[in-house]
Structure 1
Amino acid sequence: MDYSEHLRRLSIDEQQAGSVLDGVQGAGDLDARTSCLVRLAALVAVAAPESSLHREIDRAIGAGADADTIVQVLDTVMPIVGRPRVVTAAPRIATALGDDLDLLSTED
């Protein structure tokens, strides 16, 4: 199916069009790593719960992303979603990456 047909099906809310996006596979020509990073950006944009962020970060790491790339997603989406969304997501993402941020520390 070409992109215009896919957009047509999405536009009329045809269930088949969206069903190919379940899980990491089936996101068109995007590889699994890129799909996970795009979904992570979307989760930050909608202020998704911590469990959703953790799950997508686990998938992204499993697909070959590293912590630096995941943090770059925050920098990339900040101008679009706003600093408050990124500030809210940052400690949740740090926890998912296994970092315990000492937010009370005055050391740089």
Structure 2
Amino acid sequence: MNATVVAVLALAVGTYAFRLAGPVLDGRVEIPPRVRSLLSTGAVVLLVALLATGALTEGHGFAGWARPAGVLVGAVLALRRAPFAVVVLAAVAVTAGLRAAGAG
């Protein structure tokens, strides 16, 4: 086996063990409410950071104004509880329209 196969197998075993830990430890380990709150907040912060990185950067620089505008339109529609297809299509339309107009 080469190093890539070993790395993939190690990650697969680690992922399975991590997923198995939840059901196995359920009821045996008590997590304080404060820690639960911090874990929830941490997950939101990580998702927002990932969104910001994907929306604002391309390669090693700024992605231009079209992509952040599309993400903003999608976020507003999602907050207004629009159907998912409408959110995606509106974000794509705004981004494509701005790129066609030369806004980048």
TM range (shorter): under 0.3
TM-score in terms of structure 2 length: 0.26
Higher normalized helix content (fraction of residues): 2
Larger radius of gyration, structure 1 or 2?
2
Query: Which structure is higher in RCO with an 8 Å CA cutoff and minimum separation 6?
Result: 1
